[in-house]
Amino acid sequence: MTNVVVVGSQWGDEGKGKIVDWLSERADIVVRYQGGHNAGHTLVIDGTSYKLSLLPSGVVRPGKMAVIGNGVVVDPHALIAEIEKLEKQGVKISPENLRIADNATLILSLHRELDAFREDAASNSGTKIGTTRRGIGPAYEDKVGRRAIRVMDLADLDTLPGKVDRILTHHNALRRGLGVAEVSHDTIMTELTSIADRVLPYRDTVWLFLDKERRKGARILFEGAQGSLLDIDHGTYPFVTSSNTVAGQAAAGSGMGPGSLGYILGITKAYTTRVGEGPFPTELHDDIGQFLGEKGHEFGTVTGRKRRCGWFDAALVRQSVATNGITGIALTKLDVLDGLDELKICVGYKLDGEQIDHLPASQGAQARVEPIYLTLEGWKESTVGARSWADLPAQAIKYVRQVEELIGAPVALLSTSPERDDTILVTDPFED
Ligand code: GDP
Ligand code: IMO
Ligand code: MG
């Protein structure tokens, strides 16, 4: 028995929510450890769809504890709205099943505004990132800049005003430079005191809670957001998010030691998608790209933006296997490939006439690489809802085997529809 870390191995939206929901039946606690409400995780349970952004996907299962770790940036308004939305869907949320780290950073309205001001200004110069405009980047900047307001500060009205002054000194200087109105001390104090009563009941010393539960033998499932290619260090910088998304962050972002992480499960889409700007070597601008987008319903959960689609890039996922220490993968959306005559898998790149087996870190080189493809025969049969290998056509099995060989990691789970139970178990990550 071990703990499990779920990470996205591509540019996000690999189906982490569905797999975390499926795995959470076997877990006691589900922990988010980075990112914020830039994430959009969709679960489909008996035809009902649940969309989660900030709350761990385990929250929909009665009897499971959901934890928001210190590595997450928490927008209190988004938190309250998401709790209310889920309660309307019949999900019960209280401190009995949700804890938020008292040392987690808060996203304030000024972070959301700064994200939008910057993206708007960058749009005019053609340098935007295409962020979710949720204030994620500005909030992490303040955390690293040691001027963030944290959950626990809401309970300390003696020190809070000084902290508000400190964050405003920085933000008002920026706002003056951007030519936008300054924010007053009273505005931020009112914002914080108005949400304090809704947030503070969930606060906990999360590292201590997790340590006690670990000692009692609880099974812990860590739920990553975004994907490894959006990692602030290992991703396609600067077209990335502002946190470390790789598995190592599960330790630092929750307060558990790396020795407790256990099985690292890389959620991997059977093709590739990306939302926002940035390099995408296997992107398809043709009918096949269109086919994948329509069949896979590739529209962002958070912003509704159309996701860019392309062939599976084994070179990139091989890189993610290394940077995360992936033990095995959950291969999702195989069903979307049904009906294609042939399938391509990128095995490496050509860069300035040379053959390379990984994506270089330089932005210029990332834009110039050309994929080298392996072509496989497709299949005509439907794999939608397949629940065993026996239900898969031979060519689909061949595709899966080829993926495993090229990325250097085995398939532990295979997903064949958005529904919770349309999942083939090969190896139970909790028992590995
Ligand atoms: P996440 O951000 O990694 O949790 O992924 P999203 O939820 O943003 O996007 C994945 C989408 O694919 C969701 O709408 C899921 O319901 C859906 N999905 C997940 N697994 C499968 C699958 O195996 N087949 C199909 N067709 N859809 C899937
Ligand atoms: P899940 O957890 C896909 C992308 C944005 C943008 C970049 C930076 O659902 O997989 P940010 O708002 O984080 O500063 O935006 O990162 N991005 C995601 N793309 N899935 C996500 O989350 C994402 N979260 C952020 O589109 O390109
Ligand atoms: Mg998503």
Tell me the per-residue pLDDT of 288-325, one tens digit each, with 9 for 90 and over: 999 999 999 999 877 888 999 999 999 999 999 999 99
Pocket lining: 307 vs ligand 1, CB cutoff 6 Å: no
pLDDT for position 173: 98
Pocket lining: 44 vs ligand 1, CB cutoff 6 Å: yes
pLDDT in tens, 185-212: 999 999 999 999 999 999 999 999 999 9
pLDDT at 90 over 90: yes
Query: In this structure, which residue's CA is closest to atom 3 in ligand 2?
Result: 12
Ligand approaching nearest to the C-alpha of 276: 2
User: Can you tell me the distance from the alpha carbon of 101 to that of 104, in angstroms, rounded to the nearest whole number?
Assistant: 5
Pocket lining: 301 vs ligand 1, CB cutoff 6 Å: yes
pLDDT at 327 over 90: yes
CA angle 415, 416, 422 (to 5 degrees): 80
pLDDT for position 161: 98
Name the residue ranges covered by the structural domains of the chain: 4-100+205-260, 106-199, 268-425
User: What is the topology classification, in CATH, of domain 4-100+205-260?
Assistant: Adenylosuccinate Synthetase; Chain A, domain 1 (3.40.440)
- Does the active-site annotation cover 358? no
Catalytic hit among 13, 231, 313, 422: 13
pLDDT at 64 over 90: yes
Distance 18 CA to ligand 1 centre (A): 6
User: Can you tell me the distance from the alpha carbon of 276 to that of 307, in angstroms, rounded to the nearest whole number?
Assistant: 8
Domain at 106-199, CATH from 1.10.150.530, 2.60.40.420, 1.10.300.10, 3.40.50.300? 1.10.300.10
Pocket lining: 371 vs ligand 1, CB cutoff 6 Å: no
β partners of residue 346:
313, 373
pLDDT at 1 over 90: no
353 a known binding residue?
no
CA angle 232, 400, 275 (to 5 degrees): 35
Q: What are phi and psi of 62, to 5 degrees?
A: -60, 145
Query: In this structure, which residue's CA is closest to atom 26 in ligand 1?
Result: 417
User: What is the topology classification, in CATH, of domain 268-425?
Assistant: Adenylosuccinate Synthetase; Chain A, domain 3 (3.90.170)
Percent above pLDDT 70 for the chain: 100
**Which atom in ligand 2 lies closest to the alpha carbon of residue 40?**
9
Mutation to probe ligand 2, out of 20, 34, 38, 119 (largest number of atoms < 8 A from CB): 38
Place 101 in a pLDDT band, splitting at 50, 70 and 90. Answer: very high
Distance 188 CA to ligand 2 centre (A): 27
pLDDT at 397 over 80: yes
296 a known binding residue?
no
Give 297: exposed, middle or buried? Use CB within 10 Å, 0-12, 13-18, 19+: exposed
Of the candidates 199, 7, 235, which has an alpha carbon nearest to the alpha carbon of residue 104? Answer: 199
Rounded to an integer, the average pLDDT of 101-126 is 94
Pocket lining: 39 vs ligand 2, CB cutoff 6 Å: yes
Pocket lining: 57 vs ligand 2, CB cutoff 6 Å: no
Distance 153 CA to ligand 3 centre (A): 30
Pocket lining: 12 vs ligand 2, CB cutoff 6 Å: yes
- Does the active-site annotation cover 77? no
Rounded to an integer, the average pLDDT of 390-416 is 98
pLDDT for position 126: 80
Catalytic hit among 21, 37, 41, 102: 41
Of the candidates 100, 40, 42, which has an alpha carbon nearest to the alpha carbon of residue 76? Answer: 100
Distance 432 CA to ligand 2 centre (A): 31
172 a known binding residue?
no
DSSP 283: B
pLDDT at 247 over 80: yes
Ligand approaching nearest to the C-alpha of 42: 1
User: Can you tell me the distance from the alpha carbon of 331 to that of 403, in angstroms, rounded to the nearest whole number?
Assistant: 9
pLDDT for position 125: 81
226 a known binding residue?
yes
Percent above pLDDT 90 for the chain: 97
Pocket lining: 136 vs ligand 2, CB cutoff 6 Å: yes
pTM for the model stands at 0.97
